[in-house]
Amino acid sequence: MAWTSSPVPLLYLIWIGFLFSSGDVAASARCMETERKALLSIRTGISDTHEWLSSWDGKDCCSWAGVECNAATGHVIKLDLHNPGGPSSNISNVNPSLLELKHLSYLDLSGNYFDGASVPGFIGSLTKLEYLFLSSAGFGGTIPESLGSLSELVSLGLDLNSIDGEIPATVGDLRSLQTMDLSSNDISGEIPQGIGNLSKLQILRLSDNKIGGAMPASLGNLSALQTLDLSNNEISEQIPDSLGNLYGLEYLRINGNNIGGAIPSSMGNLCNLSDLDASENIIKGQLTGFIEGLSRCRSSGIWYLRLQNNEISGAIPSKIGKLQSLKALNLGSNSLSGPVPASLGNLFALSDLNLSSNSLVGALSEANFANLTWLDSMDLSHNLLTVNESQDWLPPFQATEIRMGSCNLGPKFPPWLKNQTKLSHLDLSSNGIADAFPDWFWELCLSDLILNVSYNHMRGSLSSSIECFWTVRVDLSHNNLEGFIPKMDPMLVFLDLSYNLFSGPIPPAMAAGTDYLAFMLLSNNRLNGTIPSSFCEANHLQVLNLANNGFSGTLPDCWKDSLALKILDVSGNKVSGDIPETLGLLPQLKSLHLNDNGLSGRIPSSLQRCKDLVTIDLGQNKLSGVIPRWIGDELSSLRVLRLRSNMFTGAIPPQLSLIASLQVLDLARNDLSGELPPSFGNFSSMISVQNETKSVLGEEVTYYTESTIVDAKGLQLNFTTVLSLVTSIDLSGNNLSGEIPDELTKLYGLHFLNLSDNKFSGGIPQNIGAIEQLESLDLSENNLSGRIPSSISALNFLSHLNLSYNNFSGRIPSGSQLRTFTDPSIYASNPQLCGSPLLKKCPGDAPSEIPVEASQEEDGDEDEYGIIWFFVGFAPGFVVGFWGFMGTVMIDRKRRIRYIQFLDMICSWLTHR
Ligand X SMILES: *[C@@H]1O[C@H](CO)[C@@H](O)[C@H](O)[C@H]1NC(C)=O
Residues that bind ligand X (CB under 6 A): 10-11, 87-90, 113, 115, 172, 193-194, 196-197, 218, 345-346, 367, 370-371, 394, 396, 398, 419, 503-504, 528-529, 547, 691-692, 705, 707, 709, 718, 720
Measured from the CB atom, the residue of 106 and 369 that comes closer to ligand X is 369
- Nearest to 331, CA basis, from 312, 307, 314: 307
Smallest separation, CB 399 to ligand X (Å): 11
Pairwise CA distance, residues 206 & 58, whole Å: 43
- Nearest to 32, CA basis, from 6, 64, 80, 65: 64
Smallest separation, CB 687 to ligand X (Å): 11
Smallest separation, CB 407 to ligand X (Å): 21
Smallest separation, CB 109 to ligand X (Å): 14
Pairwise CA distance, residues 612 & 596, whole Å: 23
Smallest separation, CB 715 to ligand X (Å): 12
Q: What share of residues in the chain are helix, strand, coil (percent, to 5)? A: 25, 20, 55
User: What is the dihedral angle through the alpha carbons of 848, 853, 859, 865, rounded to the nearest 10 degrees?
Assistant: -140
The secondary structure of 264-303, three-state, reads CHHHHHCCCCCEEECCCCCCECCCHHHHHHHHCCCCCCCC
Measured from the CB atom, the residue of 347 and 662 that comes closer to ligand X is 347
Give the amino acid at 773.
Q
* CB distance 803 to 781 below 8 Å: no
Measured from the CB atom, the residue of 131 and 441 that comes closer to ligand X is 441
Measured from the CB atom, the residue of 248 and 396 that comes closer to ligand X is 396
Question: How far is CA 746 from each of CA 242, 582, 668, 729, rounded to the nearest angstrom?
Answer: 67, 39, 22, 13
Measured from the CB atom, the residue of 217 and 900 that comes closer to ligand X is 217
Q: What spatial distance separates the first Cα and last Cα of the chain, rounded to whole Å?
A: 55
Measured from the CB atom, the residue of 10 and 838 that comes closer to ligand X is 10
Pairwise CA distance, residues 317 & 434, whole Å: 34
- Taking residue 413's Cβ as centre, other Cβ atoms within 10 Å add up to 20
Measured from the CB atom, the residue of 126 and 215 that comes closer to ligand X is 215
The DSSP code sequence of 190-205 is ---GGGGG-TT--EEE
Smallest separation, CB 414 to ligand X (Å): 14
CA angle in degrees (0–180, nearest 5) for 885-886-890: 120
Smallest separation, CB 628 to ligand X (Å): 26
Smallest separation, CB 241 to ligand X (Å): 17
Smallest separation, CB 46 to ligand X (Å): 13
Smallest separation, CB 103 to ligand X (Å): 27
Smallest separation, CB 89 to ligand X (Å): 6
Backbone CA torsion sign across 120, 124, 129, 133: positive
* CB distance 610 to 581 below 8 Å: no
Measured from the CB atom, the residue of 218 and 308 that comes closer to ligand X is 218
Pairwise CA distance, residues 509 & 528, whole Å: 16
Smallest separation, CB 878 to ligand X (Å): 14
Measured from the CB atom, the residue of 156 and 547 that comes closer to ligand X is 547
Measured from the CB atom, the residue of 101 and 547 that comes closer to ligand X is 547
Smallest separation, CB 755 to ligand X (Å): 24
CA angle in degrees (0–180, nearest 5) for 707-644-784: 120
Smallest separation, CB 104 to ligand X (Å): 25
Helix axes 882-891 and 893-911, enclosed angle (nearest 10): 140
Measured from the CB atom, the residue of 291 and 755 that comes closer to ligand X is 291
Pairwise CA distance, residues 80 & 859, whole Å: 86
- What residue is closest to ligand X based on CB? 394
- Nearest to 332, CA basis, from 379, 377, 291: 379
Pairwise CA distance, residues 730 & 643, whole Å: 10
Smallest separation, CB 172 to ligand X (Å): 5
Smallest separation, CB 137 to ligand X (Å): 11
Smallest separation, CB 87 to ligand X (Å): 6
Measured from the CB atom, the residue of 880 and 905 that comes closer to ligand X is 880
Measured from the CB atom, the residue of 65 and 198 that comes closer to ligand X is 198
Measured from the CB atom, the residue of 345 and 628 that comes closer to ligand X is 345
Pairwise CA distance, residues 868 & 871, whole Å: 5
Measured from the CB atom, the residue of 397 and 494 that comes closer to ligand X is 397
Backbone CA torsion sign across 279, 282, 286, 292: negative
Length of the chain: 913
* CB distance 534 to 512 below 8 Å: yes
- Nearest to 618, CA basis, from 635, 637, 634, 598: 598
- Taking residue 149's Cβ as centre, other Cβ atoms within 10 Å add up to 19
CA angle in degrees (0–180, nearest 5) for 78-79-81: 150
Pairwise CA distance, residues 668 & 644, whole Å: 5
Measured from the CB atom, the residue of 314 and 396 that comes closer to ligand X is 396
User: What is the dihedral angle through the alpha carbons of 827, 831, 835, 836, rounded to the nearest 10 degrees?
Assistant: 30
List CB contacts of 19: < 8 A, sequence separation 6 or more.
Answer: none
Smallest separation, CB 784 to ligand X (Å): 32
Beta-bridged to residue 354, according to DSSP, are 330, 379
Pairing of strands 179-181, 155-157: parallel
Q: What is the DSSP letter of 389?
A: -
Provide φ and ψ at 224, rounded to 5°.
-95, 0
Measured from the CB atom, the residue of 21 and 218 that comes closer to ligand X is 218
Pairwise CA distance, residues 260 & 179, whole Å: 28
Measured from the CB atom, the residue of 310 and 377 that comes closer to ligand X is 377
In 788-829, DSSP assigns E strands to: 800-802, 807-811
